[in-house]
Amino acid sequence: MKKILSVVGATASGKTSYAINVAKKVLIQNIPKEIYLDQNHKYDGVDLISADSRQVYQGLEILSGADIPNNFEKIDNQEYKVFKHEELEIYLHGVSIIGLRDEWSVAHFKDFATKIILDSFKNNRLPILVGGTGLYHEHLFSKDENLYVPPDSKLREKAQILSLNELQKWLESINPEKLKSMNNSDINNPRRLIRAIEIAIGTPQFINSTKLPNDVEIQTILVGVDMSLENFQEKILKRVIQRFDNGSTKEVENLLRICEQNDLPVCSTLGVSDISKYISAEISKEVCIRDWALHEFQYAKRQLTWFKKKI
């Protein structure tokens, strides 16, 4: 049976550090018992696969908190950017690999991650998914064809000028059950309403050319990191201050130059709206940091609620 380790947790919980520590122990066969891996199996390497919908973007590394440890170096001559531990056979995939204008979705992630996982199995390596985007963990092996309904530029252009209420009515007219099933956050999110409308109207087009063989038996081991809200606000505030001081404002300035009416998915990244207000002198630095940290904390609470249902 092939094993995949899936490390989940809220923002600021230390998922990447934990995953790297586990990877090191795997390679020296000092695997913690709570990980439930075969203690006698000797792996030749570890592939860490980032399951984060924002750290995937180039030019947003500071704002998104892309975790690239100092002892990891970029490998050249790759199909996409890969980082490797200086001494050990530990690789980090899926961080800073696409442009700010590029499309990225659950379907793209499935294709990307599946290729790495197959290569891991072939070369006796342990794949470890690490990141806070729950849908990526949940849908990695999903066969839901709706994931492969492509974006509809004409539909999005039409939807862009509609109000939230008009989008809700549109979805209700074509798929009332979907509207009823959406939670409060989704039903008040224009981007998610538009995507739901796309799926209701569109036709799946399978973008993933790589699939896991049906005869491969896989066990996914889900591990939660620091699933408590204790000290989270303090941790998040420190991270936000550090990102602000390290240049996240420059990243947002560059992002705003290519965004048109916030129409790109990347524009919904936490911190963009708050820093945008700071750049335009609508709010002070102190208010920007306060609001950004609050939004990060609210997101962390939603992550914890989601992950606790899965673990």
User: Could you state, in order of their start, the residue ranges of all structural domains in the chain?
Assistant: 2-143+211-224, 151-201, 232-304
Contact at 8 Å (CB) between 19 and 25? Answer: no
Residues in the chain: 311
What does the pLDDT read at residue 69? Answer: 86
> Torsions phi, psi of 215, nearest 5?
-90, 5
Contact at 8 Å (CB) between 225 and 15? Answer: yes
Q: Which is it for strands 72-75 and 82-85: parallel, antiparallel or unpaired?
A: antiparallel
What does the pLDDT read at residue 236? Answer: 92
Pick the closest to residue 141 from 110, 106, 108 (CA basis). 110
Give CA–CA dist 138/220, Å, rounded.
11
In this prediction the pTM is 0.81
pLDDT in tens, 191-250: 889 989 998 988 776 555 556 666 678 888 888 887 666 778 888 999 999 999 999 999
Q: Which is it for strands 2-8 and 125-130: parallel, antiparallel or unpaired?
A: parallel
Give the chain's radius of gyration (CA, Å). 20
Secondary structure of the chain in HEC code, one letter for each residue: CEEEEEEECCCCCCHHHHHHHHHHHHHCCCCCHHHCCCCCCCCCEEEEEECCCCCCECCCHHHHCCCCCCCEEEECCCCCCEEEECCCCEEEECCCCECCCCCCCHHHHHHHHHHHHHHHHHCCEEEEEECCCHHHHHHCCCCCHHHHCCCCHHHHHHHHCCCHHHHHHHHHHHCHHHHHHCCHHHHCCHHHHHHHHHHHHCCCCCCCCCCCCCCCCEEEEEEECCCCCCCHHHHHHHHHHHHHHHHHHHHHHHHHHHCCCCCCHHHHCCCHHHHHHHHCCCCCHHHHHHHHHHHHHHHHHHHHHHHHHHC
Q: Which is it for strands 45-50 and 72-75: parallel, antiparallel or unpaired?
A: unpaired
- We find that the CATH architecture of domain 232-304 is Orthogonal Bundle (1.10)
Rounded to the nearest angstrom, the gap between the alpha carbon of residue 244 and the centroid of all alpha carbons in its chain is 21
The hierarchical CATH code for the domain 2-143+211-224 is 3.40.50.300
Q: Which residues contact 290 (CB under 8 A, 6 or more apart)?
A: none
**Encoded tokens for 180:** 């009823």
What does the pLDDT read at residue 265? Answer: 81
Where the chain has pLDDT below 70, the residues are: 77, 142-143, 145, 148, 205-215, 227-229, 260-263, 309-311
